[in-house]
């Protein structure tokens, strides 16, 4: 069941085609990573989903039905370019933003108290935003994004400006929201957090979706058939036409060997082959990191285009 689907979204700015038939499908209750180099069209897509701008063509479905104006209240959006009224008190500000998203005053007040307590910031209520540090402001912004209990939370570069400690707080919040059944759309350049948090991703490059799907499947698809063995041995001298040794590293009484195998050869056969000669302590197939997938997908497309 997809919570959000975009179908063939096209958006043209003056001389620049920002989105060229972009379709993504975000499953309910998952964290979805929206990746891509700068200027690929991620923010444009997000702005279309949040109804800030209208697409030239294409449709957006929420829970399988067309998206309407009222649906914006089900979305919590933390833009990349974000800020708060500098002269306004933190509490008043969050109240204002919550009410703008259709919450009643009373309801907003209850939720605000709950969130402020959870983030340990109840004593900030009467402080002006300009008195807060950037990290503190980000926390307030995050609360303002989720205070109206949205079903879909869209976070554009949520970790920029956060120290690792505060970034972890936000990561935990994202996972907690997911466990509550909320759908999270996350746009970020931080590939480690993508691996950590995302279930599915879409990679947008040059206005098109170039990769889409489950993160594990994608990493699998991009594997280079590199296996890492840890052997109880002084050296590794086996040679075979079905594999090549990439590197060897001696550590105390064992040795770490990285092997590039031929695609035709099954992993189990290779293990059997090595196990016949050397005692294997551990064995692991190296999956490419999201960073490597990203780089390889983006560069291969650029090569194709040129």
Partner 1 sequence: MNTLGLIIQREYSSRVTKKTFILFTIFMPVLFLALAFVPLWLSTIKDSEIKKIVVIDHTGIYAPEFKSTDDYRFEIVGKADESANYTPRLGKDFFAILQITDDLSKKPQNVFLISEKQVPMSLLKNIEKVLSEKVTRQKLDELSASGNVDAQTIVKVRHIIESGANVSVSTLRLNKEGETFASSSMLSSIVGIAFTLLIYIFLMSYGGMVMQAVLEEKRSRIVEVLVSSVKPVNLLIGKIVGIGLVGLTQLFIWALLLGSLTMVLGILPVFSNDAATSSQLMNNSMQPVNMSEIVAMFQTINWLEIILYFIVFFIGGYVLYASIFAMIGASVDNEQDTQQFMMPITIILLFAFYAGFYSIENPDGPLAFWCSFIPFTSPVVMMVRIPFGIPAWEKILSVIILYGSFVVISIFSAKIYRVGILMYGKKPTVKEIIKWAKYK
- Give contact residues for partner 1 (rule: CB under 8 A): 13-14, 47, 50-56, 72-73, 75, 77-79, 81-88, 96-97, 99-102, 141, 144
- If the CB atoms of residues 86 and 114 are measured against partner 1, the closer one turns out to be 86
Least distance (Å) between residue 42 CB and partner 1: 14
Least distance (Å) between residue 151 CB and partner 1: 14
Distances (CA, A) of 107 to 70, 78, 112, 113, 119: 19, 21, 8, 10, 19
Least distance (Å) between residue 141 CB and partner 1: 7
Least distance (Å) between residue 170 CB and partner 1: 16
Distances (CA, A) of 174 to 106, 137, 167, 253, 272: 26, 18, 11, 43, 43
- Which tokens hold the place of 270? 């290779």
d(CA 90, CA 130): 9
Least distance (Å) between residue 5 CB and partner 1: 19
- If the CB atoms of residues 82 and 261 are measured against partner 1, the closer one turns out to be 82
d(CA 140, CA 124): 10
- If the CB atoms of residues 158 and 288 are measured against partner 1, the closer one turns out to be 158
Least distance (Å) between residue 295 CB and partner 1: 27
- If the CB atoms of residues 56 and 237 are measured against partner 1, the closer one turns out to be 56
d(CA 9, CA 19): 7
- If the CB atoms of residues 103 and 203 are measured against partner 1, the closer one turns out to be 103
Least distance (Å) between residue 56 CB and partner 1: 6
- If the CB atoms of residues 75 and 211 are measured against partner 1, the closer one turns out to be 75
- Which tokens hold the place of 24? 């993504």
Q: Which residues are within 8 A (CB) of 218 and not within 5 positions of it... i.e. 6 or more apart?
A: 201, 211, 293
- If the CB atoms of residues 102 and 181 are measured against partner 1, the closer one turns out to be 102
d(CA 156, CA 82): 9
């Amino acid at each position: 069941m997809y919570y959000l689907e975009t179908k063939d979204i096209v958006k043209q700015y003056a001389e620049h085609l920002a989105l060229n038939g972009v379709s993504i499908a975000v499953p309910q209750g998952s964290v979805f990573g929206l990746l891509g180099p700068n200027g690929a069209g991620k923010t444009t897509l997000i702005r279309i989903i949040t109804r800030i701008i209208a697409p030239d063509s294409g449709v957006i479905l929420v829970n399988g039905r067309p998206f309407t104006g009222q649906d914006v209240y089900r979305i919590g959006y933390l833009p990349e370019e974000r800020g708060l009224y500098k002269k306004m008190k933190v509490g008043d500000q969050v109240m204002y933003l919550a009410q703008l998203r259709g919450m009643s005053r009373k309801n907003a007040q209850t939720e605000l108290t709950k969130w402020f307590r959870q983030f340990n910031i109840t004593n900030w209520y009467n402080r002006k935003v300009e008195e807060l540090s950037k990290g503190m402001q980000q926390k307030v912004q995050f609360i303002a994004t989720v205070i109206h209990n949205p079903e879909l939370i869209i976070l554009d570069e949520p970790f920029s400006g956060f120290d690792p400690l505060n970034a972890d707080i936000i990561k935990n919040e994202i996972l907690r929201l997911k466990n509550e059944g909320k759908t999270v759309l996350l746009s970020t350049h931080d590939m480690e957090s993508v691996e950590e948090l995302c279930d599915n991703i879409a990679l947008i490059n040059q206005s098109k979706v170039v990769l889409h799907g489950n993160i594990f499947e994608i990493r699998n698809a991009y594997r280079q058939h590199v296996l890492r063995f840890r052997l109880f041995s002084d050296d590794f001298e086996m040679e075979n036409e079905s594999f090549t040794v990439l590197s060897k590293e001696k550590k105390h009484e064992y040795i770490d060997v990285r092997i590039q195998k031929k695609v035709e050869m099954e992993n189990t056969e290779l293990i059997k082959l090595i196990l016949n000669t050397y005692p294997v302590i551990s064995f692991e197939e190296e999956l490419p990191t999201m960073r490597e997938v990203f780089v390889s997908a983006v560069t291969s497309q650029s090569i194709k285009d040129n």
